[in-house]
Structure formats: C-alpha cells, structure tokens
Amino acid sequence: MTYSGLQKDLQQLDVTLPMSDDLSVLAKRLTFAGLSVPNRFVVQPMEGFDSGTDGEPLELGFRRYERFAAGGAGLIWFEATAVRWDARSNEQQFWINEKSVGKFAELLEHTRSTAHKEDGHDIVTVLQLTHSGRYSKPQRGKRKPVIAQHSGVLDAAHGIAGDYPLISDAELDRLQDDYVSAAKLAARAGFDGIDVKSCHGYLLNELLGAHTRDGKYGGAFENRTRFLRETIQRIAEEVPGVFVTSRLSVYDAVKYPWGFGTDKEDYRKHDLTEPKQLASLLQKAGVPLLNITIGNPYFNPHYNRPYAKAASGTAAYDEHPLRGVVRFVNIVRDMQQSFNGAENTVPMIGAGTAWLRERIPKVAAGIIASGGAALFGQGRSSFAYPNAPRDILTRGGMDAKQVCVACSGCTNFMRAEHPAGCCVRDRKFY
C-alpha cells in the first residue's frame, strides 16, 4: 500500500487527508499543564481484559504496557478502568480499588522506567476511568446494563426491554462519589492525569445524549452535561496533583433524540455545536487536554474504528473504510481548530487511522503540521506494532510486515470475553 495508491483512493472518493513529507513535527515536545510530552505520539487506551479477581493488572497487562513504553510514544493513555466492580464491561476489565491500587502503582512505575530506559523519556500518563453503562457485564456471560435513557435505536440493538429501569438521579449522585474515590486512588498510584471517560456509548456518553431523560441529568444541554462537568470539577477540587481530562465522543451517529453531536434531521451528519460548547465549559473548568473520538463500537464500529474486515456479528457497512478515516480526522480537526486561538488553546488528540497501515506516518505529520490535532493517537496499531512511534521517529517509516491490518481480531477477542491483543502480529500470545 503506497502513498500514491492512497492519493488515488482519495481522489476517487473525492475526499482529502493532510500529508506531510517532513516527519520532524512528530518529534517535537508538547507542553501543557506543566507537563512535557517528549513527542507527538499517544498510545490510545486499549483494553486487554486480563486483570485478576480484584481488577488488578497481571502479567499480560504488565507485558502490554512494557511494549507500549518501549515503543517510544510520549504519552500513554491507560485503558478503561472501572470505578466500581459492577461498572465493568468484562469480568477481567481493570478496576481500581483499595486492593488493586498497589498493582496499578507497580504497573505505572514499570511503564515509566521502561520508557526511561529505552529512550530517556519521561512519559506522561493518564488513567481512563469508566462506567460501562448499557454495556456493563461484570460477571462472565451476565449482562447487567445500566441505562440513562431508553433509546429507540440502541435498546432494540442490544435487547433492552421497554420497561427496563433507568439509573436514578440519586444513584448518579452516588456514582460521582465513586469517580472521585477512584481518581484519588489513581493519584495515589502516581498517574499524571485522570480521564473521566465519556465516549463510545458507555454511561457518561449516553448521558450527553439523554434528550428524553427527565430530571437534573437529562433534557437540556446543561442537564445532559451535568454529570461530566460536576465530576470533573469535583476531581479538580478534591484530588490534588493530577490534571483532569476526558475522552469525549463528539459525534455518536445515533439518531436524534438518542445521541450527542448528531444532526437532528440526519444522523449521518454531525453537528458539533454542543460538543464545542461542552469543550469550552471543560476548558474553563481547567481541563488542559481533550481526547476526541466518535461513534459507538458496539453499534456503528465503522465510525469509531474503520476496518478492512468487520468484527463477528457486526453488520457490514457499504462504506469505504477510507471515508471513515477521513470523517474521523476531519471531525477532530474541526474541534481542534475551534480551540487553537491564542486565548483558548486546548491540545487535542484523535484516532481511527489504523486502516491506513504503513501510510500512517505522512498523514500523522500532515495532521499535526496543519493544526488538525496537537498529538497523534494510535489504538489498534499499538497492539500490533507498539514500536511504530520509534520506527517513524528514527527510520522515517513503518515496516509493512508489522502494521495492524484492521482485521477486527482484537475486537472479536473482546466480544468473546477473551483477553484482547493482536492475533496477527502477536500470535504467540493471542
């Protein structure tokens, strides 16, 4: 797959992607919140579903982060970690609590020291805190959905009956306390940043689009964004020594009134008016960095992770994956460019480019050089080819024999409640 082939595909689809031959922009430091990221590469959060009974990282988790750290990325965004046992999407999802926090501290120390040993890098680290909402499955094979609103689209897709109870306002109030407690533990473990995850159809993302919910957490924009805003505010006030951020879905591609960032007439179009308003409020609350994402991997994975082969059980979409890549890149660019001014800079990170394979480097450089994002995030590629950042920075390219082939194998593992990794490039382990 060559760059000229990519140019041809882009022309045929009548879309564009920024590209730059000068990769040096990817080696530049980025400073924010008093921290310095040694280059522009981010390992996006990638769940391995391989924790112990108390949610603590075990050998496979240590191996995953050692590989990420040795690969040369400047920022590692640690995977979705439940704030309570029943908030997990899988019995083996990471879960931070009094019993497991010591192992998180060890994992972090090992990750930091590996990066330091390999490259002399002092990496920046973020822990993603999650509640899996309608995708909660804290015990093997037993779904335990927690929903913020009934959805005319998602209920049917996931077998949720019309009379299934909603999480109450009082329970949501208590859940804020769980986020604050988990953030305190994450700070104790030593993470630089806390991500109040609000994406991919999980509970906090669902709240953002809860147009049909009554009460203080639903309906008007102020109410739908309340949980995220208040939780971030509380962590900022009650947990010293860490910065607070969010991985934020800005376009669910779910029909109005059941999604966020979606055009009211046509769910296939995004409307970033509210996401920009929210980003502005978060910035005012002191959020120094945002990780921007789109789509729901359970419902419309071609938005979230354009692929060459669909995950098992997913309806195939008649869309060229390159369209998906371009959509994701353009939406992140639109968000970033609204926050690029002298007064209101918020560095942002995107994702969704794994399908480009070895043609990633020039696109990554093009995105950063043209102000389409401040950092370049990689998800599936980090599983397949964790050394990609080093190869791009030191050799000017990626090895075609190591790239992610976007086969959805790692997603299939997740769906099968099996530890997740790359079944193509890391076969011995997965």
Ligand X SMILES: Cc1cc2nc3c(=O)[nH]c(=O)nc-3n(C[C@H](O)[C@H](O)[C@H](O)COP(=O)(O)O)c2cc1C
* Chain residues that interact with ligand X, rule: CB under 6 A: 44-47, 79-80, 128, 199-200, 247, 293, 304-305, 351-354, 378-381, 410-411, 414, 420
The residue (of 45 and 275) whose beta carbon lies closer to ligand X is 45
The CB-of-346 to ligand X minimum distance in angstroms stands at: 18
Q: Angle, nearest 10°, between helix axes 321-337 and 273-284?
A: 50
The CB-of-44 to ligand X minimum distance in angstroms stands at: 4
When CB distances to ligand X are compared, the closest residue is: 379
The CB-of-116 to ligand X minimum distance in angstroms stands at: 24
What single-letter amino acid sits at 322? L
The CB-of-177 to ligand X minimum distance in angstroms stands at: 23
The residue (of 112 and 305) whose beta carbon lies closer to ligand X is 305
For residue 37, what are the CA distances in angstroms to 13, 41, 108, 120, 291? 36, 9, 16, 12, 15
Q: How many CB atoms lie within 10 A of CB 426?
A: 17
Name the 3-class secondary structure at 65: helix
The CB-of-161 to ligand X minimum distance in angstroms stands at: 28
The CB-of-100 to ligand X minimum distance in angstroms stands at: 16
CA 307/CA 318 separation, integer angstroms: 12
The CB-of-140 to ligand X minimum distance in angstroms stands at: 18
The CB-of-222 to ligand X minimum distance in angstroms stands at: 25
The residue (of 311 and 346) whose beta carbon lies closer to ligand X is 311
For residue 200, what are the CA distances in angstroms to 83, 135, 316? 17, 10, 19
What single-letter amino acid sits at 245? T
Name the 3-class secondary structure at 333: helix
Report the DSSP pairing between strands 348-350 and 375-378: parallel
The residue (of 10 and 405) whose beta carbon lies closer to ligand X is 405
Report the DSSP pairing between strands 124-130 and 94-95: unpaired
The residue (of 23 and 420) whose beta carbon lies closer to ligand X is 420
The residue (of 47 and 192) whose beta carbon lies closer to ligand X is 47
215's tokens = 């009460």
Question: Whose structure tokens read 């359970």?
Answer: 298
Q: How many CB atoms lie within 10 A of CB 429?
A: 11
What single-letter amino acid sits at 425? R
Residue 118 class from Cβ within 10 Å (0-12 exposed, 13-18 middle, 19+ buried)?
middle
The residue (of 398 and 414) whose beta carbon lies closer to ligand X is 414
CA 260/CA 202 separation, integer angstroms: 12
Residue 240 class from Cβ within 10 Å (0-12 exposed, 13-18 middle, 19+ buried)?
exposed
For residue 189, what are the CA distances in angstroms to 77, 101, 235, 292? 15, 6, 15, 25
The CB-of-128 to ligand X minimum distance in angstroms stands at: 6
The residue (of 72 and 379) whose beta carbon lies closer to ligand X is 379
Q: How many CB atoms lie within 10 A of CB 123?
A: 23
The residue (of 200 and 213) whose beta carbon lies closer to ligand X is 200
The CB-of-47 to ligand X minimum distance in angstroms stands at: 4
The residue (of 69 and 166) whose beta carbon lies closer to ligand X is 69
